[in-house]
Amino acid sequence: MRKSIISILTLLAVVLVVSCSDDDNKAAVKYKLTVTVNLPSDINAADVTDLKVTVKNQSTQEELIADVANNKAEFTLAGGEYNIMASGSAGKFAINGSKDQVGVYADTNISIDMVSAVSSGLIIKEVYYSGAPLPPYYVTDQFIEIYNNSDKVQYLDNVMIGVVMYMNSKTAVANQPSLWVDGQGNLLDRYPIYNYLMAFPGTGQSYPLEPGKSVVVAQNAVNHHAQNPNSPVDLSNADWETFVPGKGDTDNENVKNLDVIYGNGLAQKDFAMGLFINPLIIAKLPEGTTPADFAADESNFMAEPTTGRSDLYIMIPSKYVLDAIDIVDGSDAVNYKHILNVDDAGIVKTPGSFTGKSIRRKVVSIENGRVKYKDTNNSSVDFLIDQTPTPGVQPTTVDE
Ligand SMILES: [Ca+2]
Ligand SMILES: [Ca+2]
Ligand SMILES: [Ca+2]
């Protein structure tokens, strides 16, 4: 009896060894991925430097980087789904491109069309949107900080702030491919704004922002930490706040209010950013067009595709975007982009909600106290996640 048990165990062990090595063999199969990068037409190939391709395995998060030679980068990869990102620079231009959810289950060739961008003067330095640690449920302490990263005075007048619609409004499912696509499945070149579109008031040069200066825009300009010790911020000294009249929103009379330009049928009590997914843009219309003019033109509105809902969304053209961050929830297995590569070639994967943490742009240099932030139009590499919020405070050390 004992002997037969031992031989059964031995047999099991052999089976286990055999099946393990079988699995190892399967995992060991590798495929060749060749990525061809197509440079933007306005970029001279001779000016391009630091051209690299990064591939990231979506399940293991393993990352590989290869230099581009003769417009190609090659990888040897285990089978799986990959996010692929190409980046480089050409003088004052950052060039970027990406492709998500590329399945590599055989030798594979793909090409990426790159886009060029010059950093705008006004950038989003920091965003805190994730909510204070629970309990209690406390999410009114959100803020956005806008910084002048250029060497010239920039004007906040008529700069608009909006969250790009990131969910199916009928099912309330957030993490799914955007509905706002063309017949080929590509994101539209204008963005539907969720909830409220807000804008700075002013007549053109009413609100100058000097180089190296910032403004904090609070959802509510109050001392949140005093109201809820779990909230990391005191926003009572914010420069601006979002105030929606007639909805029971609070108004700190010492802090200037942004204008409400439009609220759609889902309009809430206040301008609220997404707690999990938060594709954020700041934009400015051409000289002479005010946000109110824009909102008076019905061709600038669209209903949500495919769901049959009639609520209209105001659509902000990509060409007017100053800065954008495609923030996704890193705890989701798969993430979807809502912002075009030309505005943000990457995504910021955050650890989720109710963390009391912000995301902040990396500091590339500090000269005579003047901070320069990284803005390659690729938030995957431009931002630090999981930061203790520092509204209105610029770092004193360089991040990279
Ligand atoms: Ca408010
Ligand atoms: Ca106020
Ligand atoms: Ca940017």
Domain spans in the chain, listed from the N-terminal domain onward: 30-117, 122-387
CA–centroid distance, residue 148 to ligand 3 (Å):
12
Instruction: Among the bound ligands, name the one nearest to the CA of residue 321.
Output: 3
pLDDT category at 400 given cuts 50, 70, 90 is: confident
Q: What is residue 92's predicted lDDT score, i.e. its pLDDT?
A: 75
Residue among 122, 194, 207, 192 at smallest CA distance from 158: 207
Mean pLDDT of 292-314: 96
Q: What is the mean pLDDT of the chain?
A: 91
Instruction: Among the bound ligands, name the one nearest to the CA of residue 345.
Output: 3
Residue type, 195: N
More confident residue, 285 or 12: 285
pLDDT at residue 3 greater than cutoff 50: no
End-to-end CA distance of the chain: 68
pLDDT at residue 2 greater than cutoff 70: no
The Cα 375–Cα 321 span in angstroms is 14
The residue behind tokens 């955007």 is 178
If 0-12 CB within 10 Å is exposed, 13-18 middle and 19+ buried, where does residue 308 land? exposed
Structure token digits, residue 346: 């990457």
Q: What is the pTM for the complete model shown?
A: 0.82
The Cα 386–Cα 349 span in angstroms is 10
CA–centroid distance, residue 200 to ligand 1 (Å):
14
CA–centroid distance, residue 251 to ligand 2 (Å):
4
CA–centroid distance, residue 291 to ligand 3 (Å):
21
Mean pLDDT of 274-279: 95
Q: Are the beta carbons of 274 and 157 closer than 8 angstroms?
A: no
Q: Are the beta carbons of 314 and 192 closer than 8 angstroms?
A: yes
Mean pLDDT of 187-210: 97
Q: What is residue 10's predicted lDDT score, i.e. its pLDDT?
A: 46
CA–centroid distance, residue 77 to ligand 3 (Å):
31
Mean pLDDT of 308-316: 94
More confident residue, 169 or 158: 158
CA–centroid distance, residue 376 to ligand 3 (Å):
6
Q: What are the residues whose beta carbon lies below 5 Å from ligand 3 (ion)? A: 323, 375, 377
pLDDT at residue 23 greater than cutoff 50: no
More confident residue, 44 or 137: 137
Mean pLDDT of 347-372: 94
Report the 10 Å Cβ neighbour count for 246.
7
What values do phi and psi take at 314, rounded to 5? -80, 135
Q: What is residue 26's predicted lDDT score, i.e. its pLDDT?
A: 52
Mean pLDDT of 157-168: 96
CA–centroid distance, residue 295 to ligand 2 (Å):
23
Residue 123: CA count within 13 A, CB half-sphere: 30
Q: What is residue 27's predicted lDDT score, i.e. its pLDDT?
A: 53
Structure token digits, residue 99: 């492709």
Q: What is residue 41's predicted lDDT score, i.e. its pLDDT?
A: 87
Angle at 276 between CA 270 and CA 279, to 5 degrees: 75
Mean pLDDT of 378-384: 94
Instruction: Among the bound ligands, name the one nearest to the CA of residue 324.
Output: 3
Residue among 283, 295, 280 at smallest CA distance from 163: 280
The Cα 275–Cα 256 span in angstroms is 25
CA–centroid distance, residue 5 to ligand 2 (Å):
79
Mean pLDDT of 74-82: 95
Instruction: Among the bound ligands, name the one nearest to the CA of residue 280.
Output: 3
Instruction: Among the bound ligands, name the one nearest to the CA of residue 253.
Output: 2
348 Cβ contact partners less than 8 Å away, ≥ 6 residues apart: 325, 326, 327, 328, 359, 379, 380, 383, 385
Would strands 30-38 and 108-113 be described as parallel, antiparallel, or unpaired?
Answer: parallel
Q: What percent of the chain has pLDDT over 70?
A: 93
DSSP letter for 320, please.
Answer: G
CA–centroid distance, residue 179 to ligand 3 (Å):
24
Q: What are 113-123's pLDDT values in tens digits?
A: 998 877 779 99
CA–centroid distance, residue 160 to ligand 2 (Å):
17
CA–centroid distance, residue 250 to ligand 2 (Å):
8
Instruction: Among the bound ligands, name the one nearest to the CA of residue 252.
Output: 2
Q: What is residue 6's predicted lDDT score, i.e. its pLDDT?
A: 45
pLDDT at residue 15 greater than cutoff 80: no
Give CATH for domain 30-117.
2.60.40.4130
Q: What is residue 267's predicted lDDT score, i.e. its pLDDT?
A: 73
Instruction: Among the bound ligands, name the one nearest to the CA of residue 270.
Output: 1
Q: Are the beta carbons of 67 and 51 closer than 8 angstroms?
A: yes
